[in-house]
Amino acid sequence: MPTLYYAAGACSLAPHIVLEWIGAPYEAVRVRFGSKELQAVNPAGAAPTLREDDGWLLVQAGAILDYLARKHPEAGLGGGDGLRARAEAHRWSAFLTSDLHAAFWPIFSPGRYTTEKGEDAHRATREAGCRLAARQFGVLDRHLDGREHMLDGGRSVIDAYAFPMIRWGMKLLPDGLEAFAHVQALHDRLAADPAVQRILAREAAA
Ligand SMILES: N[C@@H](CCC(=O)N[C@@H](CS)C(=O)NCC(=O)O)C(=O)O
């Protein structure tokens, strides 16, 4: 069975939810950033990593989610099979990886984004990240207006991918997601899902 290496509350929450939605056996291994265990399975020392039984390792959340959706077509989490449906899934996966997730980096690790030392510089860097993240949530919010899911094909891995970032936004942006009612609504729908609740409880447990 596959093994997911995850860190609590990280973007690895997305494949963790997807594995639970799929319902096939898997193992979830909690890892710490910077640990030797994580370095051994991910050259970037980052979560998530998926390991198959034969030792094959896959990193990058977007690639793992696409792989899981294709490995389990019976779960119907790919957002549809048409040419354009697949392009839309790639489009939103790329947006989440490169635009929304990336906007959080200066918030999580300001020291990587400024050569200035001191708390003032780090605060300013975090603020810049918050502004950028808010702009990206605006893109997401406009897309979600009138939609229940990110993709036309219904519930998909892309909903799960958005979920950890939405949680970060609620917690870390100065005004939370107050201005993004459609994003908040997607969060609330996902948070009410029993599978999502099981994974949140597992990740919250010490
Ligand atoms: N582009 C990678 C980013 C993975 C990543 O950086 N994950 C974060 C958690 S959300 C992490 O492991 N950070 C540890 C670090 O930066 O040291 C992906 O999408 O999988």
Per-residue pLDDT, averaged over 79-91, amounts to 96
Residue 10 near ligand 1, beta carbon < 6 Å:
yes
Question: Can you identify the CATH homologous superfamily of domain 3-77+195-204?
Answer: Glutaredoxin (3.40.30.10)
Specify the pLDDT at position 206.
67
Residue nearest to atom 13 of ligand 1 (CA): 46
Ligand 1 contact via 38 beta carbon (within 6 Å): no
**What is the three-class DSSP state of 59?**
strand
- Residue ranges per structural domain of the chain: 3-77+195-204, 83-193
Given pLDDT bands bounded at 50, 70 and 90, which one contains residue 5?
very high
Cβ 80 under 6 angstroms from ligand 1:
no
pLDDT digits (tens, 9 = 90+) for 88-141: 999 999 999 999 999 999 999 999 999 999 999 999 999 999 999 999 999 999
- Which residue type does 146 have? G
Q: How far is the CA of 146 from the centre of ligand 1 (A)?
A: 31
At residue 28, the 3 state secondary structure works out as strand
Domain 83-193: which CATH number of 2.30.42.10, 3.40.50.2300, 1.10.10.10, 1.20.1050.10: 1.20.1050.10
The two structure tokens encoding residue 156: 């998909």
